[in-house]
Amino acid sequence: MELYLQSLQFTAGIVTPIFVIVLLGFLLRRQRLIDDAFINTSSRLVFMVALPTLVFMSIARTDFQAVFNPALLGFVFLATLLSFVAIWWLAARRITVAADLGAFVQGAFRSNFGIIGMALSYNLFGNSGLSQAAMILALVIPMYNVLSVVVLTVTANHGSAGPVSLSGILRAIALNPLIIAVALALPFSYFGLHLPAVLDTTGKYFANLTLPLALLAIGGALDLKSLRNSSLTAFWATLTKLLILPLLMVPIAAALGFSGTELVLLFVLFSSPTAAAAFVMARAMGANAQLTANIILTTTLGSIVTVSAGVFGLRLAGVI
């Protein structure tokens, strides 16, 4: 019991500040210190500038040669892709509203590995864990963003009079600021290039805007009535994100021979709550941003229990 309480306290210390900023956004909206104009502007600023900068800085600083692990990256790629396809296929049989379908799929598969995952990895394994986590992050960031653009574009077109266009999807992917950030950052990571000091410092400033602005916008957009109305959809997305995916993927990875730090990082990847970036993309691309905000809130709160329980289980199994 003491070990579980330590795991719970450890996880809560990471995810609770996220919830506090969301709550602050909700209270500021209630006090009319922020409004729809702020939420729209901040969401667009995060999507167009702050989040791409964070993505660029995270990948550009990763030593590609030192942390490259083909087996681990191959599993992450296939598991993420297959889970995305399965979630979309199953959800399309139940969810008839296109905007809700896009929000559900993105909320159920997209992990907050860049924030929660990196923090957990560092606190569990120090700099060695952080380096391996950064390698995974360099893969999943473009994957998450490409797959999110695809599902949000397809469901948005499906809900309109026009047909789904492959060229339109490819254009949306190519022009997505996050995809552009990844493409620009990869040469820096691969060749070990560095930004000039002034640009590096400026990039840090913009990157540091990402989380507080995105979380304040999520809190400001929260509607408790809508949370109740969308509870079933949000519940299934939360169940998928926090329980179904890790309970499927971690045993499969263990059966394939992954162990130790690699297995723990895979657990953290698939059990982390939904990324705040999902709200920004949903709002920017016409999906149900309210449902996305609800999923982010419920997965963040639920992860305090589920992630700590997973860490506890991995400790009992001698993996950690």
List pLDDT tens digits, range 168-185: 667 777 787 878 888 898
In the block, residue with structure tokens 């009992």: 316
Pair of tokens at residue 237? 């997305």
Q: How confident is the model at residue 107 (pLDDT cuts 50, 70, 90)?
A: very high
pTM of the model: 0.77
Name beta bridge partners: 135. none
Average pLDDT over residues 77-90: 95
Query: Is residue 26 within 8 Å of 297, Cβ to Cβ?
Result: no
Q: What is the pLDDT of residue 244?
A: 95
Q: How confident is the model at residue 88 (pLDDT cuts 50, 70, 90)?
A: very high
Q: How confident is the model at residue 43 (pLDDT cuts 50, 70, 90)?
A: confident
Average pLDDT over residues 110-129: 75
Class of domain 2-316: mainly alpha
Residue 311 confidence (pLDDT) above 50 = yes
Mean per-residue pLDDT over the chain, rounded: 83
Instruction: Report the distance separating Cα 275 and Cα 103, nearest Å.
Output: 12
Q: Is pLDDT larger for residue 284 or for residue 249? A: 249
Residue 148 confidence (pLDDT) above 60 = yes
Q: What is the pLDDT of residue 179?
A: 80
Q: Is pLDDT larger for residue 134 or for residue 264? A: 264
Q: What is the pLDDT of residue 66?
A: 67
Residue 162 confidence (pLDDT) above 60 = no
Give the residue among 114, 122, 176 at the shortest CA–CA distance from 140.
114
7-21, 34-48, 79-93, 284-298: least confident range: 7-21
In the block, residue with structure tokens 């709160």: 301
Query: Is residue 207 within 8 Å of 50, Cβ to Cβ?
Result: yes
Query: Is residue 55 within 8 Å of 225, Cβ to Cβ?
Result: no
Q: What is the pLDDT of residue 183?
A: 86
Residue 167 confidence (pLDDT) above 60 = yes
Q: What is the 3-state secondary structure (H, E, C) of 49-60?
A: HHHHHHHHHHHH
Residue 301 confidence (pLDDT) above 90 = no
Share of the chain above pLDDT 70, in %: 88
Q: What is the pLDDT of residue 161?
A: 44
Among 25-29, 217-221, 283-287, the range with the most confident prediction by mean pLDDT is 25-29
Q: What is the pLDDT of residue 117?
A: 75
Q: What is the pLDDT of residue 132?
A: 77
pLDDT tens-digit map of 185-237: 889 888 888 889 999 999 989 888 887 888 888 788 776 666 666 578 889 99
Share of the chain above pLDDT 90, in %: 24
